[in-house]
Amino acid sequence: MRGTHGILIRRFLTAFVALLALQAGSLVAPAYACGCGAMVPDASRRIGVGREESAVRWDGRTGTIVMRFRVHGDAERAARIMPVPSRADVSLGDPELFDRIDRLTAPERRDRPYSWPREDDWPFDTGHGDGAGAAPGAGAGVGVVGRERPEVAFAGRIERPEGAVAALAGGGPVYLTVLEQEFPNPGRIDDDHHLRRVADAPYREVIHADRLLSVAGLPAWLLTVG
């Protein structure tokens, strides 16, 4: 019995090591998701993650992470591996969460009027032949106010979150900070990525649209020279 028992143990250890090696081999070249974890497809399939979005809430004791991925490849199924500090509950998230966050944090658009015509306005606009058939109108240009903090796309307090955002926030007001980062070559990532701490100062991107002042559809400057 002792000899048989020893053989069984050796066989078990051999099988365990082989399984471990197989799992390690599967993780040698996972698809990088630009975050913690990886997606592993079947051996004969390929998968890649073009964009990852994560919404994180921490209430002092429990962390909630909702993730959305834009995936490409020929794999019909894949395993998502994500390290957690302790046992975690996993469920499907609300697909509307990130769309709502996008709407809440969208850049603010403001009109920036000006009085005198510029090179793209009538009568200086030469993009329509000789301009004989061009009707007077208001030209528009778009200027983007640069970000004060490159990674922060939005920071501010949401007093009355709704829908999926309210569910994630626990139903009350929430201070929302949105960070955006781009990794042109994710294959070069060889270590954990850590986001730097940012200040809670409110921030929102503003897009200005330059518009020529008009009255009843006509440029206002015509009234001053008529």
- Going from the C-alpha of 10 to that of each of 13, 40, 108, the distances in angstroms are 5, 30, 67
Report yes or no on 180 lying in a domain: yes
Q: Name the band, by pLDDT with cuts 50, 70 and 90, for residue 164.
A: very high
Residues 99 and 165 in one domain: yes
pLDDT value of position 133: 39
Q: Name the band, by pLDDT with cuts 50, 70 and 90, for residue 207.
A: very high
* Amino acid in the structure at residue 134: A
Q: Name the band, by pLDDT with cuts 50, 70 and 90, for residue 61.
A: confident
Q: 118 with 139: CB under 8 angstroms?
A: yes
pLDDT in tens, 15-37: 434 444 444 433 444 433 334 67
pLDDT in tens, 65-88: 898 888 889 998 888 888 877 788
Report yes or no on 85 lying in a domain: yes
Residues 72 and 99 in one domain: no
Residues 52 and 130 in one domain: no
Residues 116 and 170 in one domain: yes
Q: Name the band, by pLDDT with cuts 50, 70 and 90, for residue 165.
A: very high
Question: What range does the domain containing 200 cover?
Answer: 94-226
Residues 147 and 214 in one domain: yes
Q: Name the band, by pLDDT with cuts 50, 70 and 90, for residue 97.
A: very high
Q: Is the pLDDT of residue 99 over 90?
A: yes
Report yes or no on 71 lying in a domain: yes
d(Cα 103, Cα 133) in Å, to the nearest integer? Answer: 40
Highest mean pLDDT among 11-15, 88-92, 134-138: 88-92
Run of H or E including 225: helix 221-225
Number of domains, the chain: 2
pLDDT value of position 107: 92
d(Cα 136, Cα 17) in Å, to the nearest integer? Answer: 79
